[in-house]
Amino acid sequence: MYTKFQEHLQKELADIEAAGLYKHERIIESPQGAEIMVKGKKCLNFCANNYLGLANNPELIEAAKKGMDARGYGMASVRFICGCQDLHKQLEKKISEFFGTEDTILYAACFDANGGVFEPLLTEEDAIISDALNHASIIDGVRLCKAQRYRYANADMADLEEQLKAAQKNRFRIIVTDGVFSMDGNVCPLDKIYELAQKYDAMVMVDESHSAGVVGKTGRGVTERYNLRGQIEILTGTLGKAFGGAMGGFTTGRKEIIDMLRQRSRPYLFSNSMAPGLVAAGIRMFEMMSETNELQDKLHANTDYFLRRMKEEGFDCKPSESAICAVMIYDAAKSQKYAAKMQEEGIFVTGFYYPVVPKGQARIRVQISAAHEREHLDKCIEAFKKVRKEIEG
Ligand SMILES: *Cc1c(COP(=O)(O)O)cnc(C)c1O
């Protein structure tokens, strides 16, 4: 039975490899951090979503251990059967306080939060108006829902307005956007989106996965950046990026929306509850966020420094309001050369090219962290200069 299918897969895999699109895993032999071990060699990591440097934080590790000691290893249940501990409710409350929202529902991941948010709330009478560059999990979530789909070009407010006009025939409308777009590092223009939402009677949903912990003076995300705290109907986010980098996702927002998700959201109803250790560490993490702004301040200073120095050295960097810095190389093959040579220099970065970014827009994506020290940033910049000299002559 398998032989024919095996041949089919082998051919497809060979095609992926031939197109240079095969994803090879790079094996890390240390905890996640600014410095990691790869093949016995120390490298500087500039491609993790570890924006606040919390992925190996001793306080969080301690909190996770204590949580496991007090509440066990796993829940072996979905939330509504017997998978809800006091810890889960505490973490949901912390998230609501952090974002200034009314209520929160946890998921195993933000992929699940986005996958389970539309279908319980909207029907074929309604409209979802989605940014063209939204994350794959939003696209999948929209697919699972019968609402009518409208798409607008990335952060293009004229196009959004056109789509909103077209969607006036629908019963309810929701505009959906990433808070930070992961390839350019640009923040969604939430002030203008909100204005249009008011004008055309639409709700708004923002996926804060790359923005939470990062954007805004205190890292409260794009609603802080645009003074719209508590004004946005739905926010989704992950505990797998700035917030410690382990696992877990959430939807936070209006009380009735969260309540309905608890009744009808399929990844919540049919998937296991978060493990107590991760939940306990999550609670501690949000406590740390309210105790000090040190990590946000350091991250913002690091990002400003890196971008300023790279521009001074003549690199073409996209303007960024996040911890994502896109160093434009334009040529796809060259971007891969840059990434490989950077790795030889002990710097971990990723080169992206078509179809992940538009044709002729290949780039090296650098992700800055509060875990980086000035000397790490300088080493990265020096490596870029050396590699450029080798490649460009
Ligand atoms: C990373 C990411 C997700 C997925 O988060 P997980 O918790 O890892 O599933 C969803 N949306 C956006 C915008 C992301 O960047």
Question: Any idea what the CATH number is for the domain that residue 332 is in?
Answer: 3.90.1150.10
Do residues 223 and 190 lie in contact, with contact meaning Cβ atoms separated by under 8 Å?
A: yes
CATH number where 247 lies: 3.40.640.10
pLDDT in tens, 219-256: 999 999 999 999 999 999 999 999 999 999 999 999 99
Q: What is the pLDDT at residue 355?
A: 87
Q: What is the pLDDT at residue 243?
A: 98
Catalytic positions, written as ranges: 182, 210, 241
Q: What is the pLDDT at residue 69?
A: 98
Q: Could you tell me if residue 208 is inside a domain?
A: yes
d(CA 207, CA 140): 14
CA 207 – ligand 1 centroid, Å: 8
| DSSP count for the chain of H helices, then E strands | 15, 13
In angstroms, the first-to-last Cα distance of the chain is 55
Clarify whether residues 70 and 27 are in a common domain.
no
Q: What is the pLDDT at residue 193?
A: 98
Q: Could you tell me if residue 8 is inside a domain?
A: no
Helix intervals (H) in 265-352: 266-269, 276-291, 294-312, 332-344
Clarify whether residues 196 and 222 are in a common domain.
yes
Clarify whether residues 272 and 309 are in a common domain.
no
Ligand 1, residues 106, 135, 205, 222: which to mutate, most atoms within 8 A of Cβ?
135
Clarify whether residues 213 and 335 are in a common domain.
no
Clarify whether residues 167 and 80 are in a common domain.
yes
CA 110 – ligand 1 centroid, Å: 5
CA 341 – ligand 1 centroid, Å: 29
d(CA 68, CA 227): 38
Dihedral of the alpha carbons of 80, 83, 89, 91, in degrees to the nearest 10? -130
Q: Which residue CA neighbors atom 14 of ligand 1 most closely?
A: 209
Sheet hosting strand 234-238, strand order edge to edge = 103-107, 249-253, 234-238, 203-207, 173-178, 127-131, 148-152
Clarify whether residues 147 and 262 are in a common domain.
yes
Clarify whether residues 252 and 195 are in a common domain.
yes
Q: Could you tell me if residue 144 is inside a domain?
A: yes
Boundary-marking domain end, from 291, 315, 348: 291
Q: What is the pLDDT at residue 140?
A: 97
Clarify whether residues 279 and 321 are in a common domain.
no
Q: What is the pLDDT at residue 212?
A: 98
Boundary-marking domain end, from 265, 291, 317: 291
Q: Which residues of the chain have pLDDT under 50?
A: none
Clarify whether residues 328 and 214 are in a common domain.
no
Clarify whether residues 204 and 234 are in a common domain.
yes
Total residue count of the chain as it appears in this document: 393
Q: pTM of the predicted model, to two decimals?
A: 0.97
Closest CA to 177 of 191, 188, 166, 161: 188
Q: What is the pLDDT at residue 20?
A: 79
Q: Could you tell me if residue 317 is inside a domain?
A: yes
Boundary-marking domain end, from 270, 291, 312: 291
Do residues 98 and 289 lie in contact, with contact meaning Cβ atoms separated by under 8 Å?
A: yes
Q: What is the pLDDT at residue 22?
A: 86
Q: Could you tell me if residue 1 is inside a domain?
A: no
Q: Domain range for residue 362?
A: 21-51+293-392
Per the structure, the count of domains in the chain is: 2
CA 100 – ligand 1 centroid, Å: 21
Q: What does DSSP say about strands 35-38 and 234-238: parallel, antiparallel, or unpaired? A: unpaired
Q: Could you tell me if residue 13 is inside a domain?
A: no
Q: Could you tell me if residue 9 is inside a domain?
A: no
Q: Which two tokens stand for residue 58?
A: 């001793």
Clarify whether residues 27 and 89 are in a common domain.
no
Ligand 1, residues 181, 209, 234: which to mutate, most atoms within 8 A of Cβ?
209
Clarify whether residues 154 and 270 are in a common domain.
yes
Q: Could you tell me if residue 238 is inside a domain?
A: yes
Beta-carbon neighbour count of residue 312 at 10 Å? 9
